[in-house]
Amino acid sequence: MENKSLEINNLTARVGDFSLRDVNFSIEKGTIMGFIGKNGSGKTTLIKTILDMIPKQSGEILFDDIPMLGNEEIVKSKIGIVFDSLIYPLNLKPIKIKKMVSPFYKTFDDEKFYELMKRFDLDINKKLSAYSKGMQMKFGVVMALSHNPELIILDEPTAGLDPIARAEVIDLLLELMQNEKRSILFSTHITSDLEKIADYITMIDNGKIVFSKGKDELLDSYMLAQIEKDSITNEIKSNLIGLKETTFGYQGLCPSDFKTKNIVGVKTARPTIEDIMIYMGSNYGKFYKEVKQ
């Protein structure tokens, strides 16, 4: 219990027609949790529910064993948040925003703020409206990190960034992880970012957690199989997740314990997180059963 920076138990929430159902997962201290799922799967809704911006119907959310309700001051001071779009008013200069926000954090580090602004090549005296989308996102990251949070929640922070800026952000996050108490929840579509930094991967689909596993364990659990048309059998088909027909035959994801070595015309490879996301996304029901097993 003590080693978890975020713990979510049986969380249920509803926004209009969409609902989060029975969400359970946790983030250990000193780890990075990659949070994946297709558009509209509930990633941002879950993040907003975690942050109490969307009211929960039932369940429990604990930050370092402390619930948000009634402890907003303590909990929020330990969290750094980057939303998928900039929350700060565009007509203000970063220096003014810093002056406005910093008095609320005992741990706000002015030096760090200026250092990060310099590192990301951001002008503190330029209005945010004059920043590009990528620069605005970088500023969001700077503001989220300047008070040395223990838990950093990032909702698609690299979405509008070019590869160089993305690499800068990823490097910065890896640097931050030198502090063993710090944890990151990193929601993204760019799964290659997660290949580099994530320790755990959680996938959400239609408001329900599909899996929450160690990255290596997840990648070791599955194989990407390519089967020639003549070699396909009903038994193979039944073991493939997200079966797709291609010009050369069939392609799909199969459990790593599925014996394919002796089958002629079947080639396997280690999948990427993106492969798992793509194949699972289209075959959630079947996959969910397997993960449960």
Partner 1 sequence: MITRFWNYQRLLNHSIKSSNNKERSRAPFFNHMLFFIFMYSFIFTLDGGGIVFFPIICTLSIVYQIINSRNKLFEIVPVSKLYSCLNIYLFVLGVILVFISTFVLLGVFSLLFNNIMHMHFVLNFNLDGSNVILSLRDWKSTLIPGCISIIITSILLPMFFIKNNILRKCLTLLSVALATISLISFRNTLPVLPVLGEINFLKSIKLLPQYNEILLILSCICVVIFPISMFISYKLYKGKRCLVS
Residue (69 or 269) nearer to partner 1, CB: 69
Smallest separation, CB 110 to partner 1 (Å): 15
Residue (53 or 269) nearer to partner 1, CB: 53
DSSP string, 194-208: HHHH-SEEEEEETTE
CB atoms within 10 A of CB 163: 10
Helix, strand, coil shares of the chain as percentages rounded to 5?
35, 30, 35
Footprint (CB under 8 A) of partner 1, residues 82-111: 83, 85-92, 99-101, 103-105
Give the closest residue to 185 by CA, choosing from 175, 168, 167, 197: 197
Smallest separation, CB 92 to partner 1 (Å): 7
Which residues on neighbouring strands pair with residue 27, listed in sequence order?
6
Q: Is 130 in the site for partner 1 (CB under 8 A)?
A: no
Q: Say how far residue 97 (Cα) sits from the centre of its chain.
A: 27
**Binder among 32, 33, 50, 75 for partner 1 (CB under 8 A):** 75
**Binder among 3, 4, 9, 14 for partner 1 (CB under 8 A):** 14
* 133-137 contacts at long range (C-beta below 8 A, 24 or more positions apart): 133/160, 134/160, 134/161, 134/162, 134/165, 136/86, 136/90, 136/160, 137/82, 137/86, 137/161
Residue (71 or 233) nearer to partner 1, CB: 71
Structure tokens at 228: 């020639």
Q: How many residues of this chain interact with partner 1, rule: CB under 8 A?
A: 27
Structure tokens at 11: 């969380």
Smallest separation, CB 41 to partner 1 (Å): 18
Structure tokens at 224: 């990407």
Smallest separation, CB 169 to partner 1 (Å): 19
User: How far lies 185's CA from each of 35, 50, 157, 287, in Å?
Assistant: 7, 11, 11, 23
**Binder among 76, 138, 166, 182 for partner 1 (CB under 8 A):** 76
Q: Is 113 in the site for partner 1 (CB under 8 A)?
A: no
Residue (153 or 223) nearer to partner 1, CB: 153
Smallest separation, CB 249 to partner 1 (Å): 42
**Binder among 1, 17, 39, 73 for partner 1 (CB under 8 A):** 73
Q: Is 129 in the site for partner 1 (CB under 8 A)?
A: no
**Binder among 40, 53, 229, 246 for partner 1 (CB under 8 A):** 53
Q: Is 138 in the site for partner 1 (CB under 8 A)?
A: no
Q: Is 20 in the site for partner 1 (CB under 8 A)?
A: no
Please, which residues have CB within 8 angstroms of residue 202's CB and are 6 or more apart in sequence? Answer: 25, 33, 34, 35, 36, 209, 211, 212, 213
Residue (103 or 285) nearer to partner 1, CB: 103
Residue (81 or 194) nearer to partner 1, CB: 81
Residue ranges that bind partner 1, judged by CB under 8 A: 14, 53, 55, 57, 69, 72-77, 81, 83, 85-92, 99-101, 103-105
